[in-house]
Structures are given as structure tokens and as C-alpha cells.
Amino acid sequence: MSVSAPILRRRANQAALYLSVCTLVLIMLIPIGWMLSTSFKPLRDVFQTPPQWIPDEITFKNYVAQFNEVLGTLMLNSMIVAVGAAVLATFVGAMTAYGISRFRFKGGALLMLFFMGSLAFPVPLLMISLYSLFVKLGLLNTYAALILGHTAVTIPVSIWLLKNFFDQLPREVEEAAYVDGASPLKVFLFVVLPMARPALAASAIFVFVVSWNELLFGLTFTSTTDMRPLPAGITLVFLQEFEGAWSEMMALAVMVSIPVLILFFFFQKTFLRGVTAGAVKG
């Protein structure tokens, strides 16, 4: 059987593509693999030379040690903050994006550029101004400070994602709702938001993950363990109290990644649909 030249060329291209994608994925997996490997090692084996991927001795002690009251508190804090930020950034983002997409006004495009540009702000800079703001508002060491902070850094992405989605949503359905007697707010709440579910889910997942992993704000805006979110908590606990307990730290890191994995496992289709909605037309 002979294969024509164009088909061969296409296959070669495909092979090259797969090869580069695989390489990239592999590179990204190395730290995750090392985290997993370390989390099952006894502490004395962590720095053994030569390094070993498969531990000589596999232990679950590192995991068992994590089930304590502090972990519960940190988890709960992170959950409250991440869910709060996801809901707030997505809802406010949706209103902003819808307004810009539907109600034509001068400066809409400029505003979108501004949102995009705000992503280039160095986070520490943002942190300082937010800090002084929260001091004045008396919000330091509250969930609200973290929720607002995480909303501030994620909402530009949320707005862009949702505006892309609204731009390609047919207007006629909304117009039908206006004719049916709905006010603009009701159209938004009862017609637009339900239709935007994939994009809303994508935005919420994005914000959740960013918030869940965020360290700097968590460290600076909170001062007591009962308010601290996971990343900040882990850092402080392990760097101060149990200095150098690497294998336990890695075990905790594995456990903390699990909610994010579960989230993606259940919502990956919705997430992709929401993210790519603006890109694939008709």
C-alpha cells in the first residue's frame, strides 16, 4: 500500500506536534512526580544521593500525620475564600462583561484593554495598596480581605472570558425576553445567566484554582491561624514549626491538590466549552 506525499507530510507534522506536546507535559509533570515521590519517603531519604524516583521504603506516615485540627481549619478557610472569590469574581465579572458586550457605549473597548493591562501589574504592588485599603476598612485578618484580594487579581480574566462568550450569544433570545415583558435585570438573571452556564463555570473554576493556590495575600492579609488559607498555612507551619519536614510538606501538598483535580475531573468538558466558546464560531 502506498501513501501519497501530502498524507505523509501531514502525518509527519502530527508526529512532531505530539512529540512537542508530550515533551511539554513531561516537563510539567516532573515537579509533580517528585512531590508524589517525596511524599512517600521517610524524611532521611529525601536528600539521598543519587536521587531515587521510586523510594526504597514506602511510608504513609507523612499522610497520616496531616490529619489534625490545623489542617481542618486551613482547608475550611481556603474553601470559604476560594468559593467566595469564585462567586464574587464570576458574578461581578459577568455583569461587567454583559454590560460592555450589550450596551454599546464609548470606551468599552478601552475598558477591556485596561482590564487586560491590569494583569501586568506586579502583584506585590497590588498587595501593598490593598493592604493599606484593608487597614482603613478594618478588614485585615478577615475572609473578606482575601476574597476581595483574590477577586481583584482574577476578575480581569473572568471579564474577558465572559465577554467573549456574551459576544457570540445570539441577541434574539434576549430580545424575545424583552418583548415578553422582562426588565433588563430580569433578562440578565433569568435568561442570560442560565445560558452562560459553561462560561460561568469556566470562570468560577479558574478563580477557585487561583485563590486556592494563592500564597502572598494569604500570608500578608491574615495574622492568625484561624483565618489563614492553606498555602500560607502550610508555608508558615512547615517553615517555622517543623523546619525542613519536606516529606510531610509534600504529602500535604498532594492532599491539597486533590480538590482541584476533582474539580477538573468533573468539569473539564464544561470548562473547555466555556473557555473556547468565543474562539469557535458557528
Partner 1 sequence: MANVQTRNIKKKYGSVEVLHGIDLEIEDKEFVALVGPSGCGKSTLLRIIAGLEEHSGGDVLIGGETVSDLTPKDRDIAMVFQSYALYPHKNVYENLAFTLRMRNTPKGEIDTKVRAAAEALNLTDYLDRAPAQLSGGQRQRVAMGRALVRKPKVFLFDEPLSNLDAKLRVEMRTEIRRLHQDLNATSIYVTHDQVEAMTMADRIVVLHDGDIIQVGKPMELYDAPATTFVASFIGSPQMNLFEGNLDAAGGHFHVSTGSSIRLGKQYRSEASVTLGIRPDDLELDASDAADIQGKIRVVEHTGGETLVFVDTPFGPLCVRAPARSQARVGDITGVKIDRERLHMFDASGLRMSAGGA
- Positions that interact with partner 1 (CB under 8 A): 170, 172-173, 175-183, 186, 190-191, 194-195, 197
User: In the complex, what is the shortest distance from the CB of residue 161 to partner 1, in angstroms, rounded to a whole number?
Assistant: 20
CB closer to partner 1 out of 44 and 281: 281
User: In the complex, what is the shortest distance from the CB of residue 188 to partner 1, in angstroms, rounded to a whole number?
Assistant: 13
Cα separation, 12 vs 279, whole angstroms: 27
Q: Contacts from 57-63 at CB under 8 Å and sequence distance 24+?
A: 62/247, 62/248, 62/250, 62/251, 63/39, 63/251, 63/254, 63/255
Tally of CA atoms within 13 A in the half-sphere of 105 that contains its CB:
9
CB closer to partner 1 out of 70 and 193: 193
User: In the complex, what is the shortest distance from the CB of residue 117 to partner 1, in angstroms, rounded to a whole number?
Assistant: 29
CB closer to partner 1 out of 182 and 210: 182
User: In the complex, what is the shortest distance from the CB of residue 180 to partner 1, in angstroms, rounded to a whole number?
Assistant: 4
CB closer to partner 1 out of 186 and 238: 186
CB closer to partner 1 out of 180 and 226: 180
Give the residue among 40, 70, 74 at the shortest CA–CA distance from 55. 40
Cα separation, 216 vs 213, whole angstroms: 10
User: In the complex, what is the shortest distance from the CB of residue 194 to partner 1, in angstroms, rounded to a whole number?
Assistant: 4
Category of 224 on φ-ψ map: left (φ > 0), alpha (ψ -120 to 50) or beta: beta
Q: Are 214 and 150 in contact (CB under 8 A)?
A: yes
Within 10 Å of residue 163's Cβ, how many Cβ atoms?
23
